[in-house]
Structure formats: structure tokens, C-alpha cells
Amino acid sequence: MATLGMSAADREALETFRLDVIEPSMTSLVILDFWAEWCGPCKQLTPILEKVAADYTNRGVKLTKINVDENRTIAAQFRVQSIPTVYAVFQGQLVADLTPARTEGQITRILDQILGQLPVEGEAQQLEAEIEPLIEMGEDVLATGDAERAVSIFEQILEMAPENPLVIGGLARAMVAAGRAEEARSLLDAAPEAVAGDPALGRARSALALAEVAPANAETAELERRVAAYPDDHEARYELAGALMAAGDRDAAADHLLEIVRQDREWNEGAARKRLLQFLEVVGLEDPWTSQQRRRLSAILFT
């Protein structure tokens, strides 16, 4: 901002603006609220902005209010023609006009979009970066079959990030794998409402549901004999698939379910296909094995 020909008061206002807005915006997202005492709509919007800013503080959002009557130079620099006018500033640049937003929901949706696109450095982002490799470690340990160790890892991460859905879901799945289904259920039931619908928790609930119908210690010998003797015994094959999945033999489990679909895709209202999709959700939709089984299922259904 040019200062040539400005009064001392204007230069002081610009220095204050630099300290309160420009410098913090190098790492934070600064919301600028242009207002005035005589502005009725401003007074209605102020508590909403203050609440949203407080809720987003740990995500690197800061609210700065600028009285246009006391800071005419700043208002002129931003070409403010009416109030309330609300802008978002990051790294000294205006990145969004929040003026049309008047409700908490509208404002938060815009902020979520901005924060998803810009490298804003808040406590939440820093914590996310810190726990990301720890979550990966927990998942790797769980994949090797060491469920109790995975539980221990996820419990430690949960202390750091008690509302992170990836951590809650990972811990619940580890508990299920360790035979601690009731603890997993309690953990999922106590999950914060804000993350209750997250896919990570849905994956954990699927794992819990599978554990209930096919406990890890389920016997497979008799079921295998029944399937060998009567290949079209879909009920036995279906139960065997669940037991094999619980035992960690996902390839064999998928093979049996796909065989049911191949023989009779509508058996028991499509139960085999539904169970296979449930298996895939538990394994994880990003897993290459899941993609492979989806292709196999599609080949059966569409040929």
C-alpha cells in the first residue's frame, strides 16, 4: 500500500494493519470484517463471524474487525463501498469474498473450501501432519496381523487426536481384530457427532458387523467338508467365506462369495454380493486387492 502523501494517522493505521493482518496472514487465514457502529446488519453478522472464527482458531483462522469510520484509508484500499464487507486474506492477498455469506453454515462451507486449497498453518494442520505417519504405522502393523500392538499404537494416537475419524476407526478395527468387539462398539458409539458419518467409522462398523457373524475362532473344517460334498450348498459356502475372512484368508473368502454369485447371483436376496462388498469396505477401498475383487465381481455380473 502506498504511503506517499498520507497523514501520520493514516501511516499509523497502515502499520497497525500490517501487524494485525498482513504478517499473520503469512501463515494464517485472516478474515477481514469491515463494519461501523451505525450498521445494523453488521451487528447481526458480528456474533456469527466471532463464533465461526473461534471454532476455526485451531485451523489457522483469525478474525480482524476494521471500523470503516476509523480506518477510511484501509477501507478505500480494499474498495469497500458498502458494509458489512467480509474478505479472506492469505499471505497478504485477498483470496475470497465472504460478503454474500450471512449464516454460519454458508461461512463455514466457504472456509472449508479455502482451507482445503491453501497451505494455512493452524494447530489442526500441524497435528494432522504429525499423526499421519503414526496412523500409517498403526495400519501397517494391523495389516501384518499384530492386532494388540496395533491397538496400543492407535490408543496412543487417540490421546493426541481424540476426534480424528481415521484414528477412531483404526483403533476400532484393531480392537475387532484383537477379539475386543465390545470395546470397539463402545468406542464407535462414543465417537463425536461431527465425525459419526465419516467413512473411516463406517469401515470400522463393517468390521464389527463381520466379527459378530463370523468370530475369528470359527471352525472351518466341517463347512469345508459340506462345500466339497455339495458345491451348490450356498449357505455352507457363505458361512465358510465369513469364517475364512475372520481368519485372515481374504482370498479364499472372496473366491467362495464370487462362486455363489456366479452360480446364483440372486441367492438370499444377493447376500453373497452384499457380503463381498462389506469385506471390501473393511479391507479399504484404496487397497489394490479391493480393486481386483471389484473387477472380478463386475466380470461375473456383466457377462
The pTM score is 0.62
Q: Which sign does the torsion angle of CA 244, 237, 206, 132 carry?
A: positive
Q: What is the dihedral of CA 277, 280, 285, 289, to 10 degrees?
A: -130
Residues that are catalytic = 39, 42
Q: Are 34 and 85 in contact (CB under 8 A)?
A: yes
Instruction: State phi, psi for 267 to the nearest 5 degrees.
Output: -55, 130
Question: What span, in angstroms and rounded, lies between the C-alpha atoms of 167 and 154?
Answer: 6
Residue 125 makes CB contacts below 8 A (sequence gap 6+) with 59, 60
Three-state SS for 220? coil
Give CA angle at 260 (257, 263), nearest 5°.
Answer: 150
Question: What span, in angstroms and rounded, lies between the C-alpha atoms of 166 and 161?
Answer: 10
Question: What span, in angstroms and rounded, lies between the C-alpha atoms of 179 and 246?
Answer: 10
Digits of tens for pLDDT over the chain (303 positions)? 545 556 777 778 788 888 988 998 998 999 999 999 999 999 999 999 999 999 999 889 999 999 999 888 899 888 999 999 999 999 999 999 999 998 999 999 999 999 989 888 888 888 888 899 999 999 999 988 899 999 999 999 999 999 999 999 999 999 998 989 999 999 999 999 989 889 999 999 988 888 877 656 667 889 999 999 999 999 999 999 988 887 778 899 999 999 999 999 999 999 999 999 989 988 888 889 999 999 999 999 998
